[in-house]
Structure 1
């Protein structure tokens, strides 16, 4: 999951910590616990970056082979699409598989074997939990009233693997999709869901202001890109304070400002800036992108410079979940963790999640699974080099996937009719 906000995490912890942590689902035995923990540790020790999940994919396929589950691979280069059951309706369960370019400092005995690459966002846990769900669903395959499609998706961390999966048919015929993500700021076993806007859309910009360099003692002979870039950054501020409804959530952040290397008495030829925009609303998201372009282009020209602007090749849209899917998922979660531990997410996050591409194509719900447990050191935020997770959450995550699928198929779809419910909002 890309770019989690500390403030959102703190607010959610404050809201959710009042709920009691859930106990282990009674139908999961210790043998399954040992099995899923072993898988997760193997994945954690061998992390791979986006679209490089070769060994991860091999382990997934090997496990599916051992379970006798049919699959298609590769999908989206290193992804795997598996199916259990037959006929309609088809419900999709998704897990992301990639790691992050982070040097691990967790102190775990099964820490990363690859320097500078780490499972710091829990995708190893997501993958292992979905494999345990696959094992349990395979055991009841004969009684399934439809098909469960398992999506082991690569490249969530900024490269839009979900979009590529969709383009290669992963959601063809699917009536609804369910996903989950671990969250270290709520106690183990808490499950939070939200209908409607859930995560922000996210895009990144790379802007270069080109001017005319020269000696700092003669600024009149230059076209100063430092001045132009500085004024442009200031000019961004009204995009939210004056152009955006105060009740809407948006972010425009310039996070890098690079004038290069040189003597302090030299005005550089160019300045490079990096940053991000985020918004919960589709319309605001598109407008912020256009207005950032306008501000940098016009401000650069005002000071005799010019701007070149590059945006992400795969911007992530806002994640908008479906009310019916969330209601089903909330009821399913209550069966797994108890009604007191299945709670409503109080507000959207400004972080981004490429499950948004799936939620824009079919009705979808996205659950947040608490893993905070100070006893085992599961207290650090996602994307932290010290990140650890409470492995007691693994069978809970698996049980959630199973319950989502069983309840959906038992109802014959979100409306009890079955069949595909594909939509196109992108």
Structure 2
């Protein structure tokens, strides 16, 4: 089935975690958080610079240049371009290789509010926190650079373009950004969780998503003489209702799916019944099988409604504009490892929580299908600071106080993964201590 990791990789990661836990009592990782607190002003300044100059998918030229300048200042080498406008930076050397990922693109949204670092590009805004993701990963780069001599392997930093519809994660995988990588981790700021909360879950954490546009064709005419037409407006309206039954009456209540019609385009005139109407939206499901069923039923339902109204319909799944994003699925061993690291990093056990799965789509899913991975939500909800607005809204803001936590968590995940890998494999020959297991992983 699509989406399963190679068995030997998942088993190897599980063995790694079990052996690491047995070898020694968990050490405190609070030092990483203290180090990140020392660069808090730099993190906020970096995030605000990125926020002020947002760029849409595959247009992140200035964004990429800003990241490259920062890496140059830190003395960190990188490969550019990757996935058109992205880049991959490297710290340390040898095996194993662990990857950390941040997305780069903004959204076509007009920002509201009067922040002094608000978007300088009308109609373009970092409304999904990608500016924070980049700042946190750059913060981790700075911290990891300071301990590079102690890294027991390689950390690969993925600055990925085009998450918002361009499947930049898929392109990064296809261009070899994960070649040789044993595990990968990513995170997303989350406005429904209290600031400083680290949350994730094993298995599906975010849904698969795709979009569609349907063209309902009939026979137009004068609005005063509807009997002489085959009205595509009425057919489209009936189609919207029919699509809702695909979830309400055909999807198990123990499963999850969403069909949302978000666009309707008909005549510009009040007294004209048009020849055609366009309707479109998104379809979301928690599995490839669920998505396949919904896509088939969307086409069948709209075709039936069209025929009943004397119309025809064509459904375009628009894969050239927005490829299908599969469900984001956390490897259970990678999830357990990440939550263990988080629990040893944060000051309070209450800051680590089981995440509620989201029906939003995320192209970290492509990375998760390539290597054992965990995707993490980082809470930013702070009513005192006004960080309460949802993602993809014009008033979205974030509590910048979590930037240091994100940078520290990235750092801890990478360094601790390398450390535990060597606990399992021994310190000789940079990871070749257990030949049988090493061959199994290869």
TM-score, length of structure 2 as denominator length: 0.85
Separation (CA, whole Å) in 2 of partners of 1:192 and 1:378: 18
- TM-aligned CA distance change 1:300 to 1:280, over 3 Å: same
**2:307 maps to 1:301:** yes
Within the alignment, does 1:352 sit opposite 2:352 as a pair? Answer: no
1:27 to 23, 34, 44: 34
Change (3 A) 1:236 1:208: same
CA contact (8 A) 2:37 2:404 kept: no
Unaligned runs of 5+ residues in structure 2 are: 1-29, 426-436
| Partner SS state of residue 39, structure 2 | helix
4+ residue runs over 4 A deviation:
23-26, 413-422
The match for 1:74 is 81
Match in the other structure for 2:376: 367
User: How many matched pairs?
Assistant: 399
Q: 1:115 & 1:421 partners in 2: Cα distance?
A: 49
Does 2:145 align with 1:138? yes
- Corresponding residue SS for 1:230: helix
Cα distance, 1:394 vs structure 2: 0.7
Q: Which of 71, 91, 95 pairs up with 1:88?
A: 95
Is the Cα contact below 8 Å between 1:81 and 1:150 reproduced in 2? yes
The within-5 A match list for 1:7-406 is 26-28=33-35, 31-264=38-271, 266-313=272-319, 314-338=323-347, 340-406=349-415
RMSD over aligned Cα atoms: 2.1
Task: Considering fraction of residues, name the structure with more helix.
Answer: 2
C-alpha distance 256-77 of structure 1, shift in aligned 2 (>3 A) = same
Q: 1:414 to 1:165 in 2, by over 3 A?
A: farther
TM-score for both structures, normalised by structure 1: 0.89
Q: Give per-residue Cα distances to partners, 1:154-191, cap 9 Å, x unaligned.
A: 11112211111111111111111100011122222110
Structure 2 match to 1:8? none
Decide whether the 8 Å contact of 2:152 with 2:422 is kept in 1. no
Counterpart CA distance in 1 for 2:351 and 2:315 is 44
Contact in 1 for aligned 2:36/2:143 (Cα 8 Å): no
Give the Å deviation of 1:339: 5.2
- Which sections of structure 1, spanning at least 5 residues, go unmatched? 1-22
Report if aligned partners of 2:104, 2:134 keep a CA contact under 8 Å in 1. Answer: yes
Pair 29,360 (structure 1): closer, same or farther in 2 beyond 3 Å: closer
Judging changes above 3 Å, is the alpha-carbon distance between structure 1 residues 312 and 341 closer, same or farther for their aligned structure 2 residues?
Answer: farther
Q: After superposing the two structures, state which structure 1 stretch, 407-416 or 119-128, moved more.
A: 407-416
In structure 2, what is the Cα distance between the partners aligned to 1:343 and 1:191?
Answer: 5
**CA displacement, residues 190-236 of structure 1 (integer Å, 9 cap, x when unaligned):** 10011101001111111111111123444343222123222322222
Partners of 2:125 and 2:44 in 1: how far apart?
17
